[in-house]
Amino acid sequence: MRLLQKRNFAIVGTPHEHVIKKNTSLIDEHCKRFIEMSPLFFLSSSNAEGECDVSPKGDFPSGVQVLNNKQLVIPDRPGNKRVDSIINILSNPHVGLLFLIPGLGEVLRINGRATIIKNPEILSSMSLKGKPPLLGIGVDVEECFIHCPRALYQSKVWNSDSWPDKADLPSSLEIFHAALRHNGVELKK
Query: What is the separation, in whole angstroms, between the first and last Cα of the chain?
Result: 54
pLDDT over 50 (residue 123): yes
Indicate the residue type of 151. A
Residue 70 falls within a domain, yes or no? yes
Per-residue pLDDT tens over the stretch 60-111: 877 899 999 999 999 998 888 889 999 999 999 999 999 999 999 999 999 9
pLDDT at 22: 79
Residue 176 falls within a domain, yes or no? no
Provide the domain limits for residue 96: 4-158
Confidence of residue 15 (pLDDT cuts 50, 70, 90): confident
> Exposed (0-12), middle (13-18) or buried (19+): which is 124, by Cβ within 10 Å?
exposed
Closest of 33, 34, 65 to residue 136, by C-alpha: 65
Residue 186 falls within a domain, yes or no? no
Per-residue pLDDT tens over the stretch 39-61: 999 999 999 999 999 999 988 87
The CATH number for 145's domain is 2.30.110.10
Task: Provide mean pLDDT across the span 115-133.
Answer: 93
pLDDT at 21: 75
Q: Are 75 and 68 in contact (CB under 8 A)?
A: no
Residue 177 falls within a domain, yes or no? no
Residue 178 falls within a domain, yes or no? no
pLDDT at 24: 86
Instruction: Tell me the chain's radius of gyration from C-alpha atoms.
Output: 19
pLDDT at 17: 77
Q: Are 106 and 147 in contact (CB under 8 A)?
A: yes
Residue 35 falls within a domain, yes or no? yes
Cβ neighbours around 75 below 10 Å, total: 21
pLDDT over 70 (residue 172): yes
Per-residue pLDDT tens over the stretch 134-155: 999 999 999 999 988 899 889 9
Q: What percent of the chain has pLDDT over 90?
A: 72
Instruction: Please tell me the total count of domains within the chain.
Output: 1
User: Please, what's the largest Cα pairwise distance for the chain?
Assistant: 61
pLDDT at 8: 60
Residue 16 falls within a domain, yes or no? yes
pLDDT at 1: 46
State the Cα angle at 133 between 130 and 136, rounded to 5°: 145
Residue 11 falls within a domain, yes or no? yes
Alpha carbon distance 65, 148 (integer Å): 24
Whole-Å CA distances, 42 to 13, 73, 96, 179: 29, 14, 8, 23
